[in-house]
């Protein structure tokens, strides 16, 4: 079926769904197929539950059911992406195509997206990526959430492989681009730090080739060089803590959250843990100011944002102060989190650190750097989790740390060995599930 014809049917539907369990009625169900699932098996069930149409792969039993509500296509994922791009191109505000702000980066994507969305929502009706649904399925679904009353869309794009961003920008066709930073993550997929820069830089490539603009952290030498290489500096809206003369204030037990004093003396008091979030705040304010949100409204929006899902969260328990950043970890974000813990003014501090995944040949070396950093810090307790730290610890007798194979083992140990009166960083890659130790702290 032609995309234009599919789009006509889409306009009859309440929304798009790729999960038959989430059908409420009136949806266009896309039967996606992955390594461990096949939505084609549930297409007819989705129709029974109230979906208006089901888009399935040709040649499947569902495609041969004879039900007029079943729409066979060559590839359901390609059809979903084509539909999303068509919707993006046919969504207008005031006679002009809707504005799309696209962002990517090694760290801080989701937090920055949430902050930008909060700030822009002070003036506009905003459609944005839900959670961290930033892949080849999540980006189309985010675009398809653009409604008739939407004025701006904020689309987050993630990447694990060299051509991921290239594919995603050609779906969402951003008018503005923002890269939060470039660092060492997913080296197994990108090959090297230069590979990371090339992959993330595909957002800049698209903007440069289509006459768009970027929001650029002027304090970041890697990003400024990447922008200059593409002749984008002249189309860059600059921001940055140092560039704008702002100051990040030290955190303490009395003031545990990120606080920024702007050059005019204005104090920005957030609910975010970690000085590394200062540039994310600066980015959100810069985007808001560009689109006409007043500084006062932008600051209020930033300060009202409360993070969740173990991203830059601060929690005071009955015994400790926790810096919960357990959603993900890579060398760049780990270094930033440890630097932040080092700067925290507290009598007692501890670190509960899990493995960083997908680092390939650099894994042992990068975990050894974490050990070096931990050695330089004044910590009462260090607990390490995972096989990669086990390898890095071999021969490192000077490192006074407790090692556990899994987060469950650490949680069990903490249940018997209570830690109290400490400020504790909890961080690790998603697969290590460091959030399991939080109830014991």
pLDDT at 310: 66
What is the CATH classification number for the domain harbouring 332? 3.90.190.20
pLDDT value at position 115?
A: 98
- Helix (H) or strand (E) run with residue 343 in it: helix 331-343
Other beta carbons less than 10 A from residue 302's beta carbon: 25
83 within domain boundaries = no
Same domain, 291 and 166: yes
Asked whether residue 231 is domain-assigned, the answer is yes
Q: What is the pTM of this model?
A: 0.87
Name which of 184, 441, 151, 410 is nearest 315 in CA terms.
441
| The predicted structure's pLDDT at residue 327 | 80
Same domain membership, residue 111 and residue 71: no
The residues that bridge with 96 in the sheet, in sequence order, are 93
Q: CATH code at 38?
A: 3.40.1390.10
Residue at 34 is within a domain: yes
Would you say residue 85 lies in a domain? no
Does one domain contain both 375 and 263? no
Measure the CA–CA gap between 128 and 232, rounded to whole angstroms: 25
Six token digits for residue 331: 């060398």
The per-residue pLDDT for 255 is 83
Q: Which two tokens stand for residue 251?
A: 């955190």
Residues 6+ apart with CB under 8 A from 266: 295, 299
Residue 368 near residue 398, CB atoms below 8 Å:
no
Alpha helices in 144-242 (DSSP H): 164-172, 187-190, 193-200, 202-209, 221-229
Q: Do residues 407 and 354 lie in contact, with contact meaning Cβ atoms separated by under 8 Å?
A: yes
Kindly give, in sequence order, each residue whose CB lies less than 8 Å from that of residue 163, ignoring residues fewer than 6 positions away: 199, 202
| Same domain flag for 352 and 401 | yes
Asked whether residue 84 is domain-assigned, the answer is no
The reply to whether 173 falls in a domain is yes
Neighbouring C-beta atoms of residue 415, cutoff 10 Å: 11
Closest CA to 166 of 115, 211, 110, 206: 206
Q: Is 135 part of any domain?
A: yes
Token pair, residue 154, equals: 């904020």
Pair 137, 261 in one domain: yes
Do residue 361 and residue 379 come from a single domain?
yes
CB 113 within 8 A of CB 94: no
Predicted pLDDT of residue 183? 85
- Examine the domain organization and report whether 54 and 156 are in the same domain: no
Q: Mark whether 15 and 112 lie in a shared domain.
A: no
One domain for residues 193 and 261: yes
Same domain, residue pair 235 and 295: yes
State the residue for tokens 């495609």.
63
In a domain, 192, yes or no: yes
Burial of 123 (0-12, 13-18, 19+ CB in 10 A): middle
CB atoms within 10 A of CB 265: 6
Number of C-beta neighbours around residue 417 at 10 A: 11
Q: How far apart are CA 372 and CA 378, in angstroms?
A: 12
Is residue 322 located within the same domain as residue 208?
Answer: no
Q: Which of 278, 304, 330 is the last residue of a domain?
A: 304
CA distance 155 to 104: 9
Q: How many domains does the chain have?
A: 3
Q: Taking a C-beta distance cutoff of 8 angstroms, is the pair 165, 202 a contact?
A: yes
Low-confidence ranges of the chain (pLDDT < 50): none
Distance CA 144, CA 315 (A): 35
> Which of residues 52, 77, 102 is at a domain's end?
77
Residue span of the structural domain in which 427 resides: 313-440
Tell me, what's the pLDDT at 345? 87
DSSP 8-state class, residue 356? P
Whether residues 256 and 322 share a domain: the answer is no
Final residue before a domain boundary, out of 304, 339, 370? 304
pLDDT in tens, 184-208: 877 777 888 899 999 999 999 999 9
């Amino acid at each position: 079926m032609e995309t234009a014809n599919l789009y006509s049917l889409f306009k009859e539907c309440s929304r798009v769904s790729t999960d038959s369990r989430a059908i409420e009625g009136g949806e266009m169900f896309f039967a996606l197929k992955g390594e461990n699932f096949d939505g084609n098996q549930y297409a007819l069930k989705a129709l029974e539950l109230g979906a208006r149409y089901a888009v399935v792969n040709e040649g499947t039993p569902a495609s041969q059911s004879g039900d007029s509500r079943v729409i066979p296509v060559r590839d359901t994922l390609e059809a979903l992406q084509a539909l999303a791009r068509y919707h993006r191109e046919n969504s207008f505000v005031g006679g002009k195509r809707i504005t799309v702000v696209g962002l990517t980066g090694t760290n801080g994507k989701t937090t920055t997206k949430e902050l930008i969305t909060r700030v822009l929502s002070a003036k506009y009706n905003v459609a944005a990526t839900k959670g961290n649904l930033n892949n080849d399925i999540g980006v189309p679904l985010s675009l398809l959430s653009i409604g008739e009353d939407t004025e701006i869309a904020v689309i987050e794009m993630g990447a694990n492989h060299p051509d991921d961003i290239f594919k995603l920008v050609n779906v969402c066709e951003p008018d503005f681009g923002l890269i939060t930073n470039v660092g060492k993550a997913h080296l197994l997929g990108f090959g090297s730090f230069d590979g990371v820069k090339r992959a993330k830089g595909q957002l800049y490539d698209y903007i440069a080739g289509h006459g768009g603009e970027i929001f650029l952290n002027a304090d970041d030498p890697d990003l400024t060089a990447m922008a200059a290489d593409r002749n984008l500096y002249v189309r860059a809206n600059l921001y940055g803590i140092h560039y704008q003369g702002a100051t990040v204030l030290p955190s303490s037990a009395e003031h545990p959250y990120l606080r920024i004093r702007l050059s005019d003396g204005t104090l920005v008091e957030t609910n975010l843990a970690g000085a590394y979030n200062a540039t994310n705040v600066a980015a959100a304010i810069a985007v808001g100011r560009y689109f006409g949100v007043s500084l006062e409204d932008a600051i209020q929006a930033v300060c009202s944002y409360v993070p969740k899902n173990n991203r830059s969260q601060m929690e005071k328990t009955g015994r400790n102060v926790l810096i919960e950043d357990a959603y993900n970890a890579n060398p760049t974000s780990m270094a930033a989190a440890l630097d932040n813990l080092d700067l925290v003014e507290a009598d007692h501090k501890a670190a509960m650190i899990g493995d960083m995944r997908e680092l390939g040949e650099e894994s042992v070396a990068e975990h050894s750097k974490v050990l070096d950093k931990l050695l330089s810090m004044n910590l009462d307790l260090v607990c390490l989790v995972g096989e990669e730290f086990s390898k890095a610890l071999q021969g490192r007798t000077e490192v006074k740390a407790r090692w556990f194979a899994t987060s469950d083992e650490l949680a069990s140990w903490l249940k018997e060995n209570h830690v109290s009166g400490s400020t504790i960083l909890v961080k690790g890659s998603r697969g290590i599930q460091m959030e399991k130790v939080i109830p014991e702290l």
